[in-house]
Structure 1
Amino acid sequence: MARWCERCAARPLKVAVAYSAGADSTALLLAARQRWPDQLVALHVHHGLQAAADGFESHARRFCALHGIELRMEHVQAAHEPGQSPEDAARLARYAALARLAVDAGADCVLLGQHADDQAETLLLALSRGAGLPGLASMPERFERAGMCFGRPLLDVPASVLRSWLLSEGHAFVDDPSNTDTRFTRNRIRAVLMPAWEACFPGFRPMLARSARHAAQAQRLLDELAALDLAQTGVPPQIARLQALSRDRQTNALRHWLRSSAGVAAATAQLDELLDQIEACTTRGHRIHLKVGTGHVEREGGRLRYTPAL
């Protein structure tokens, strides 16, 4: 954690910890208290998605009072929209609430308790979905959302180490019953795949974390290449200049353009079809029209255009 803070928040005015009252966030909160005893605030988000949430909130109040830690809380409605998973809805609501609470508390950053097991599960989940480099890069150590800096200083620490330390020191925490619900894919990975990997490859978590870092580094290089290519093709891209690039570089540039300009992640099949249409675009009247995300990529004169859904 000290390394992360030297790079990301060397002289913070105030550090916030996302505190769910579970083992991971409890260990992070206590570690942060040791480092910043007078600059710390705990943030607790009540999702209202399960009956146990009230108990989490009560425990958080008692624990922070016991240790003299400032606590700020917010209740959110994390119901998911049609076509949105409950997990995604809860995550978006949580980050938005954490950012609001941190700003109100005058904090410079929010620390999150995800650890090496979470990173390994994220990579295995990405592999099972055939993800590209952005997915294989898993969870970044630092990122910004809703105008707030977030950090994950425990990504190299196994969950067992955190839990063993808490138990040896006699610190109380709560167990979220939803973490054992195997209706959720991540929980099935935790219950079935992780023990199998451990049996075959003891101590595999740091290796998967290393692979995730390699993927993140490779993606950063591809983003730099895409920026160089888009500087030549223009934004939105000129079709003729795109055609001068190799197919792989066209793919990379188009992915970057759609992600950075429209917030859209194009599927592999969609990009393949778009590249075929671009290759066939050799006459003035040739039409390009392809659904990507909720909108469409179209030809407008000599350029591409992304039109979001109304």
Structure 2
Amino acid sequence: MTQPFGEAIASFAPALPLAVGFSGGADSTALLLACARRWPGQVRALHVHHGLQAAADGFARHCADLCAQLGVPLAVQHVDARHRPGASPEDAARTARYEAFRALALDTRAHAAIKSIALAQHADDQVETLLLALSRGAGVPGLAAMPAHWERDGIAYHRPLLRVRGADVRAWLCAQNVAWVEDSTNADPQFTRNRIRARLLPALDDVLPQFRDTFARSARHAAQAAELLRDLALQDLGATGRPPAIDALRHLGRARQANALRQWLRDDCGTTPSTAQLDELLDQLAACATRGHRICIKVGSGWVERQGAVLGWYNQ
């Protein structure tokens, strides 16, 4: 169920010291302000300067001014968030952001190592993420949307506002009389997420008022299913080996082959195959009745090929 902003903050119990990802926008401003009040002296702000628009310098200055008023230490990290041709700008920015968070959290020259990082995505963001995944034909992991907490590079990440409506976050912040910045790209209709926010969410509010709760429930079911699929994939890879032996793979059903190969490619090769690439790889495995049958398929930024009795991976 959705919950009030204050209740979400009161139930948030991260390991301290805590850092808050701080863009200067309304959501991260509300989260930073609430956390700084609850744990004075134990909260820091992390601002990632993506350098993708002219206003970025102004965002950083605003963050510095507000943190000075709050008495919250601020660390700013400049990153190159430009995406490669054919890649997702959103994915490129996200990758750069997490790399910056890791560098800032582990930099102990000015402070103790950060134990936790809080991010300000809320219930509306979760719905947008789920709808984006559906629009792209995502599998079960994509439909799980955003987790409320997870670990990465030894750091605990939290999204304490995932059950709070976006309007409720802004209403709380307005009551505090604290200014924030508006990123003009958040209203640019060329981005699918922005069109979902501006057009679909109001319609869903009208037709299905409880959609935030029901969509979140579906995402939790998908997350549980994704965990089971991962466990099964690891079990199957334990039997096939890593890299997987072709004959052992062929003894699995097609769905389990696909599940195991996705896990191997993600964990060991750092890539995710498209549906078409994975289907082609499975077709090649099905045709691989003789030792001389060749397999060489483009997957992500590299290639999967037959290397004797096993599948191999190489990156160009």
- TM-score, length-normalised on structure 2? 0.90
Matched residue SS, 1:255: helix
Q: Residue deviations 1:269-296, cap 9 Å, x none? A: 2222222221222222222222211222
Matches of 2:59 and 2:95 in 1, distance apart?
20
| 2:226 equivalent in structure 1 | 219
Q: How much does 1:199 deviate?
A: 1.4
Distance 1:231 1:76, change over 3 A: closer
Matched residue SS, 2:114: coil
Query: Where in structure 2 are the equivalents of 1:78-93 lying within 5 Å?
Result: 78-93=81-96
Q: Residue deviations 1:21-47, cap 9 Å, x none? A: 111001111221133212111112222
Q: How much does 1:149 deviate?
A: 3.2
User: Among residues 266, 277, 280, which one is paired with 1:273 in the alignment?
Assistant: 280
Return the letter of the residue paired with 1:55.
G
Matches of 1:247 and 1:85 in 2, distance apart?
29
Conserved in 2, the CA contact under 8 Å of 1:96 and 1:146? no
Return the letter of the residue paired with 2:148.
E
Return the letter of the residue paired with 1:169.
Q
Matches of 1:90 and 1:247 in 2, distance apart?
35
User: Among residues 208, 212, 234, which one is paired with 1:205 in the alignment?
Assistant: 212
Q: How much does 1:4 deviate?
A: 5.1
Query: Where in structure 2 are the equivalents of 1:241-260 lying within 5 Å?
Result: 241-260=248-267
Say yes or no: does 1:102 pair with 2:105.
Answer: yes
| 2:3 equivalent in structure 1 | none
Say yes or no: does 1:47 pair with 2:54.
Answer: no
Return the letter of the residue paired with 1:118.
D
Q: How much does 1:147 deviate?
A: 5.1
Matches of 1:86 and 1:228 in 2, distance apart?
35
Matches of 2:88 and 2:250 in 1, distance apart?
38
Matches of 2:311 and 2:81 in 1, distance apart?
37
Matches of 2:300 and 2:50 in 1, distance apart?
28
Matches of 2:57 and 2:197 in 1, distance apart?
26
Matched residue SS, 1:235: coil
Matched residue SS, 2:98: helix
Distance 1:215 1:20, change over 3 A: same
User: Among residues 35, 38, 44, which one is paired with 2:38 in the alignment?
Assistant: 35
Q: How much does 1:74 deviate?
A: 2.6
Distance 1:224 1:2, change over 3 A: farther
Q: How much does 1:259 deviate?
A: 1.0
Matches of 1:262 and 1:91 in 2, distance apart?
20
In the alignment, structure 2 segments of 5+ residues that lack a partner are: 1-8
Say yes or no: does 1:59 pair with 2:62.
Answer: yes
Return the letter of the residue paired with 2:218.
S
Q: How much does 1:3 deviate?
A: 4.8
| 1:175 equivalent in structure 2 | 182
| 1:151 equivalent in structure 2 | 158
Return the letter of the residue paired with 2:99.
A
Distance 1:2 1:279, change over 3 A: farther
Matched residue SS, 1:73: strand
Conserved in 2, the CA contact under 8 Å of 1:134 and 1:215? yes
CA RMSD after TM alignment: 1.8
Q: How much does 1:58 deviate?
A: 2.5
Conserved in 2, the CA contact under 8 Å of 1:138 and 1:212? yes
Matches of 1:62 and 1:178 in 2, distance apart?
22
Higher mean C-alpha deviation, range 77-86 or range 125-134: 77-86
Say yes or no: does 1:192 pair with 2:199.
Answer: yes
Matches of 1:294 and 1:42 in 2, distance apart?
35
Identity %: 57
Conserved in 2, the CA contact under 8 Å of 1:99 and 1:147? no
Q: How much does 1:51 deviate?
A: 2.8
| 2:76 equivalent in structure 1 | 73
Matches of 1:261 and 1:223 in 2, distance apart?
14
Conserved in 2, the CA contact under 8 Å of 1:120 and 1:208? yes
In the alignment, structure 1 segments of 5+ residues that lack a partner are: none
Higher mean C-alpha deviation, range 293-302 or range 145-154: 145-154
Return the letter of the residue paired with 2:116.
C
Runs of 4+ in 1 over 6 A off after TM superposition: none
Say yes or no: does 1:234 pair with 2:241.
Answer: yes
- TM-score, length-normalised on structure 1? 0.91
Distance 1:289 1:46, change over 3 A: closer
